[in-house]
Amino acid sequence: MPGFVHRVLHLALGLCAAGAVALAAAQGGSAPASYNVGATPTGIPFTFLDVKSNSIQGMMVDTMQAVAKAGGFQAHVQQTSFAALIPSLTSSKIDIISAAMLKTAARQQVVDFSDAVYSYGEGLIVKADDAKAYVSLDDLKGEVVGAQVGTVFYDLLQKKGIFREVRSYDSVADMTRDLALGRIKAGLGDQPIIAYQIRQHSFQGVKLAESYKPSNVGDVCLVVRKGDTETLARLNKAIATIKADGTLAQIVKKWGI
C-alpha cells in the first residue's frame, strides 16, 4: 500500500508540474509582465508632459498603451529627455522607447526597431514674415540654422556642410524662440510636431515653409535593446493587432497627425 500511495503521489505531482508548464506556456512563459518605457516631455503631439496630470501623454503614449494591452503586459511610461533615450535603454534604465524617434541606419547599429507605427519627414520652420519660397536646404547656404540636439535633423544639417553655423537646442521650443528673435535664419524638426504646435498657437512668430520638400522621410517605431528579440517579437505581434483592428488609425486621428 505505501508503494501504491507513493506512485499515486508521484503521478499527481507530475500532472501538477505538467499543468504548470502548460499554463506558463499559455501565458507567454518567462515573458515580463511589465516594461519601463521612456518618452520625452517635449515632443507634442507624439509625447509631452501634461502639467495638469503631471504625466506623459501623446500619440506614442497612447500607441504604447494599446500595444501593451494587445500584448498582454503593463507599460510604465517615464519621462526621459530625447538625448537620454538611447543611453537609458542601453543601460537598462528603461526597456522600450516610445517617442518621435525615426529609424536610422546609425541608430540600428546600437538598438533595434519595431515595425513602423507612423512615417513622416522633416519640416523647415522660418520666421512668420519670411516670404522666401524654400524648396531645399541649399536655399539656406551660408545662413545660421538650428535643430534639437540628438535628432537626425541636427545630424542632417551638420553633414550638409553649407551653413555658416548649426546651433543645437534642448527643445524645439527653444529653437523657435531663437528663430522668432532672429538669432537663426531657420530651424529643422519633426514636421507633425511643429505643425501641431503652430496650430495650437504654442509657437509664436514662426511658420512652416510650405514649399519645402523633405529629404529625410522615415519611420517612427518602438525601440528596444540590441538583440532583445523576445521583446521585439512581442511588440511586432501587438503592433500588427492594433493595425488590423483599427486601433492605431483611431489614435493617429485623435491626435490630428
Contact 39, 47 (CB under 8 A): yes
- Give tens-digit pLDDT for 23-78: 333 344 578 999 999 999 988 899 999 999 999 999 999 999 999 999 999 999 99
**Average pLDDT for the chain:** 89
Architecture of the structural domain at 120-206: 3-Layer(aba) Sandwich (3.40)
Q: For the residues 182-209, what does the mean pLDDT come to?
A: 93
- Give tens-digit pLDDT for 201-247: 989 999 999 999 998 888 999 999 999 999 999 999 999 999 999 99
Contact 132, 152 (CB under 8 A): no
Q: Which residues of 163-174 are buried (b: 16+ CB within 10 A; e: fewer)?
A: beebbbbebbeb
- Written as nine digits, the cell of 25 is 506556456
Cell 546600437 identifies what position?
110
- The boundaries of every CATH 3.40.190.10 domain in the chain are 32-117+218-253, 120-206
Instruction: Provide the CATH number for the domain formed by 32-117+218-253 in this structure.
Output: 3.40.190.10
DSSP secondary structure, 164-199, as one string: SEEEEESSHHHHHHHHHTTSSSEEEEEHHHHHHHHH
